[in-house]
Structure 1
Amino acid sequence: MSISGALRRAAITMLERRDRRRARNAPPPDTREIRILLLHANGMGGTIRTVFNLAGHLAKNHDVEIVSVVRESPQPFFDVPPGVRVRYLDNRVNGRKGILNRFRSRLTPPDETAYHWFTLKTDLALLRYIRSRRRGVLIGTRPALNLLIARTAGPEIITIGQEHANLAAHQPQTRKQILRRYGRLTALITLTQADLHAYRKALKHAPAHLAQIPNAVTRLSGPDAHRTAPIAVAIGRLNHAKGHDLLIRAWAHVHRNHPDWTLRIYGRGPRHDKLQESIDKRELTESVHLMGPAEDVGAALADAAINILSSRREGMPMTILEAMSKAVPVIAYDCPTGPAEIITHGHDGLLVPPEKIHALANAITTLITDPDLRTKLATQAQTTAAQYNMSVIGPRWDKLLTQLTHISHQTESP
């Protein structure tokens, strides 16, 4: 074992000894205080939006604080819900500061998607914060944070890991630690039934409570879509997983027969230049537009006649539900996981075999040429989206917290 490995093992052993002493004097577990660990609360991703949405619901009956590992923008992009506080552990508005930020994290798996955000400084700040908690609930929102609370939270704490992607999407080292450590959590919550099944099958030692609760759809501003303008919309980060490169290739086929239609792709990310090159190469510059981030998702959807999800993989794609809630018919690749659990093909949307270019082009053409089908799908889609309102999803979280209090009491009993 290396020196760093030996030191890490010694530190964990010391924490375990302290926890045994803490457990003897620990008060009964309760859920009055809820702390949600988030990577960067001032960003604009789907996880951030759904966490804010959940926090707003929980704040009606609990003391809720979002704990952001880093702060890179001065103010949150999304409105902080009433009754929710935000705490920042590492302020990077003016860049990374301090010698500890020069060293890589020792507690985050190197192949965790967000590894580059974590440093030795954030390791120590997170450890200090987690160990300072003496009551309540800690909720993690990505593997690095779930693993940390599983390993280091005190015995008084109810620990909940949220899976915002899916087990298969994680890289080997991260997945190995997940399978080894997640059993220490009080609960693990997946977004889809497919991912719940995957975790049940993979975890030898499961948490006390393993369940599926989807994200609630965020209420968007603006009117429902009128679906009359020849506009298709795709919303998502410009990265490989979202498959916009596949969508552009499919749109080239659509454009030959329907040159009056345009595709608006909202989002930002590392694939922007590559996507623009693909657009230029296929002479689609007048038909496909990279719009940048959607400052107002409701307004972007209000102009759309079709919403397209071309992802190679998903957790639970909120853009589908947001489009549905605004009466925009959805076409989605039947990728793992999520779309097939939301869309019933031909009833409230269209599902397409994953990564099939011509199949996607054909589905888009079908909706372009059949406005009655667009209306039918959009009408049913709003009924489907209503099942994901916070008025439906929120009570499932309330029930979970009540159950976890009873589980924790039973665990603490002699």
Structure 2
Amino acid sequence: MRLLILGGNFNNTGGTERVGSMLANSLSEAGYEIMLASISYGDKPFFPINENIKIISLFNSPGRTLYRTPNIIYKIRSLLKEERIDTLIVVETMSVLFTLPATLGLPVKHICWEHFNFNNDLGNSGRRIARQLAARYCDSVVTLTERDKECWLQGTNHKSQIIAINNPSPFPVQEYVKQENTKIVLAVGRLTPIKGFDLLLQSWLEVNKAMPDWTLKIVGEGEDRSKLTNFLIENNLTDSVELVGNTDNVEEYYKQAEIFCLSSRFEGFGMVLVEALAFGLPIVSFDCEAGPAEILENTGSILVAQNDIKHLASSLIKLMKDDEQRKSISLRSKEKAKIYQPENIISQWIDLLESF
């Protein structure tokens, strides 16, 4: 079977690009013939790609997507025909606006892979339209959680097969046992309003008063850096909070940490939670509409009402004070992490592909 996995730009460093690359590699290793295509740039993917995967970029220069729409559709259709593609996996719902007309009349199975929460369109009405079209005309829609699957089933006039397949963990379940209390709380993500690090820092004001010997490390980069830095300076938190920036060695930060915290305003899935589970970290997380509750079920980790910074602070403090609870959660986290190992996730993708 010849598969085309199409994304926006696989040169990017985001979670969508990471799991798209992982899927391409795993399906390639399972015997499928894979092409990995980006709509713009994408000629040098950031994440490792197996040598036998063909890498394609529809455009090698920037341009406004709206004005390129006819050309994008033409290029996708030409690629599908030239490469004799059997199945197309679209790694972003918005791109269905290009791929649906591109596949008209072709014997190509069409999968839309949703990476966001159905009830959040990121301020783009086109995404709402694309979701309705995908549900109606794609052969399958893959959501990341059962909760989001239900939203699709209830919120669309669907004909397609809508199924939930979790994202795979990029890290194996860790075997080591932490020998000492490092007194580090870790958060990972882009420094953007969506990730809610401003809320986390507000709660850290209370945490720091109660537990001044603990530190918070935030790994990631983004447009909110100056805003967050100013907050740290104004509130005398520079000694207890570190904005680490981007790193290509995030696993070292997971290994050092005692607790993981997710403060997002919303999530499509919560990839960092899956990563934290693999390292056996107890987690305190806002209960976003999709993602955290499903991922953290049966782990003993703590869910906090959305945007409740006082409860976030008190939950962190409680966990910091209870070594035994952290150890108990750690064991359960590693057990839950097994579900998200690539071999379990890829088998579900193969079942879907073979069902066609």
Secondary structure of the equivalent of 2:187?
A: strand
Matched, 1:398 2:350: yes
Partner of 2:301: 349
AA aligned to 2:102 is T
Matched, 1:215 2:167: yes
Q: Alpha-carbon deviation of 1:384?
A: 0.3
Q: Note if contact 1:162-1:188 (Cα within 8 Å) is conserved in structure 2.
A: yes
Matched, 1:105 2:66: yes
Structure 1 residues 220 and 273: alpha-carbon distance in aligned structure 2, compared to 1, 3 A threshold: farther
Which of 118, 139, 148 aligns to 2:98? It is: 148
CA distance in 1, matches of 2:330, 2:15: 22
CA distance in 2, matches of 1:383, 1:66: 33
Q: Alpha-carbon deviation of 1:125?
A: 4.0
Which of 326, 333, 347 aligns to 1:374? It is: 326
CA distance in 2, matches of 1:220, 1:278: 36
Partner of 2:230: 277
Q: Note if contact 1:242-1:313 (Cα within 8 Å) is conserved in structure 2.
A: yes
Which of 191, 194, 197 aligns to 1:241? It is: 194
**What do residues 206-262 of structure 1 show as CA deviations (whole Å, max 9, x unaligned)?**
31x111111111126987462620111101111111111110111111001211111
Q: Alpha-carbon deviation of 1:172?
A: 3.0
CA distance in 1, matches of 2:114, 2:227: 30
Task: Give the TM-score normalised by the residue count of structure 1.
Answer: 0.79
Q: Note if contact 1:224-1:302 (Cα within 8 Å) is conserved in structure 2.
A: no
Q: Note if contact 1:52-1:81 (Cα within 8 Å) is conserved in structure 2.
A: no
Long gaps (5+) in structure 2:
none
Q: Note if contact 2:6-2:39 (Cα within 8 Å) is conserved in structure 1.
A: yes
Partner of 1:164: 115
Which of 15, 23, 48 aligns to 2:17? It is: 48
Partner of 2:253: 300
Q: Note if contact 1:107-1:148 (Cα within 8 Å) is conserved in structure 2.
A: no
Structure 1 residues 35 and 153: alpha-carbon distance in aligned structure 2, compared to 1, 3 A threshold: same
AA aligned to 1:241 is I
CA distance in 2, matches of 1:370, 1:340: 22
Secondary structure of the equivalent of 2:252?
A: helix
CA distance in 2, matches of 1:273, 1:130: 45
Partner of 1:138: 88
CA distance in 1, matches of 2:181, 2:214: 11
Q: Alpha-carbon deviation of 1:144?
A: 2.1
**What do residues 54-101 of structure 1 show as CA deviations (whole Å, max 9, x unaligned)?**
1121102100121022237x7433222353332222224xxx4xxxx3
Long gaps (5+) in structure 1:
1-31, 109-119, 406-414
Q: Note if contact 1:231-1:304 (Cα within 8 Å) is conserved in structure 2.
A: yes
Q: Alpha-carbon deviation of 1:143?
A: 1.9
CA distance in 2, matches of 1:348, 1:324: 11
Q: Note if contact 1:165-1:315 (Cα within 8 Å) is conserved in structure 2.
A: yes
CA distance in 1, matches of 2:184, 2:352: 41
Q: Note if contact 1:311-1:333 (Cα within 8 Å) is conserved in structure 2.
A: yes
Structure 1 residues 223 and 78: alpha-carbon distance in aligned structure 2, compared to 1, 3 A threshold: farther
CA distance in 1, matches of 2:145, 2:320: 30
CA distance in 2, matches of 1:138, 1:327: 36
Secondary structure of the equivalent of 1:205?
A: coil
Q: Alpha-carbon deviation of 1:318?
A: 1.2
Q: Alpha-carbon deviation of 1:131?
A: 5.7
Secondary structure of the equivalent of 2:6?
A: strand
Secondary structure of the equivalent of 2:39?
A: strand
Over 6 Å off, 4+ runs: none
Identity of aligned residues (%): 27
Q: Note if contact 1:331-1:352 (Cα within 8 Å) is conserved in structure 2.
A: yes
**What do residues 368-392 of structure 1 show as CA deviations (whole Å, max 9, x unaligned)?**
1111111110110000010111121
CA distance in 1, matches of 2:290, 2:303: 13
Matched, 1:318 2:271: yes
Partner of 2:217: 264
Secondary structure of the equivalent of 2:20?
A: helix
Superposition RMSD in Å: 2.2
AA aligned to 1:238 is L
Q: Note if contact 2:261-2:284 (Cα within 8 Å) is conserved in structure 1.
A: yes
Alignment length (residue pairs): 351
- Tell me whether 175-184 or 220-229 shows the greater mean CA deviation: 220-229
Larger radius of gyration: 1
Partner of 2:40: 70
Structure 1 residues 122 and 245: alpha-carbon distance in aligned structure 2, compared to 1, 3 A threshold: farther
CA distance in 1, matches of 2:107, 2:211: 62
Partner of 1:287: 240
CA distance in 1, matches of 2:12, 2:85: 28
AA aligned to 2:353 is L
Structure 1 residues 222 and 136: alpha-carbon distance in aligned structure 2, compared to 1, 3 A threshold: same
Q: Note if contact 2:93-2:130 (Cα within 8 Å) is conserved in structure 1.
A: no
- Tell me whether 314-323 or 124-133 shows the greater mean CA deviation: 124-133
Q: Note if contact 1:161-1:187 (Cα within 8 Å) is conserved in structure 2.
A: yes
Partner of 1:410: none
**What do residues 133-166 of structure 1 show as CA deviations (whole Å, max 9, x unaligned)?**
5431111111222332223214310110000112
